[in-house]
Amino acid sequence: METNRQKKISGTIQQDLAEILQKDANDAQLKVIISVTKVDVTTDLSIAKVFVSIFPTEQRNEIFKNIADNTQKFKHLLAQRTRHQLRKVPNLIFFNDDSLDYIDGIEKALRGEVENPIKNPDILPKRKKI
Domain boundaries, the chain: 4-97, 99-130
pLDDT, tens digit (0-9, with 9 covering 90-100), for 36-92: 999 999 999 999 999 999 888 788 889 999 999 999 999 999 999 998 888 899 999
pTM, entire model: 0.79
Interatomic CA distance for residues 37 and 95, integer angstroms = 10
CATH architecture designation of domain 4-97: 2-Layer Sandwich (3.30)
CB 130 within 8 A of CB 95: yes
